[in-house]
Amino acid sequence: GQQVMQIPQYQHVQEGEDFTTYCNSSTTLSNIQWYKQRPGGHPVFLIQLVKSGEVKKQKRLTFQFGEAKKNSSLHITATQTTDVGTYFCAGPVYNQGGKLIFGQGTELSVKP
């Protein structure tokens, strides 16, 4: 069946270092969404990418959607302790009424 793989599973960085998480789908996606879940919290929508090759920035966060619309990445420049949490990508399951399939998530910890 359709799969969304996300790596790495965990990433520990020193504050100020950069961080990247990668998402790969087994099928072409019409769009991809990114969510952040703080420890003990709930997922919060960050962004949606729709176009092939699209790049969007939110302050220190840069999101990319691959040309083939099968992969995506989230890059954080100069991490801060407020970036701690788990980042999930999610893509729609083909022909299933908007059902989202989530990647396994990347848990980011930042050492001050």
Q: Are 88 and 41 in contact (CB under 8 A)?
A: no
* 3-state secondary structure (DSSP) of residue 81: helix
84 binds another protein per the rule CB under 8 A: no
Do residues 49 and 73 make contact, with C-beta atoms less than 8 angstroms apart? no
Query: Does the protein bind another protein through residue 99 (CB under 8 A)?
Result: yes
Q: Where are the alpha helices (DSSP H) in 6-62?
A: none
1 binds another protein (CB under 8 A): no
Cβ-based nearer residue to another protein, 97 or 112: 97
- DSSP-H helix ranges across 1-112: none
Binding mask 22-41 for another protein (x = CB under 8 A): --------xx-x-x-----x
CB of 79 to another protein, least distance (A): 20
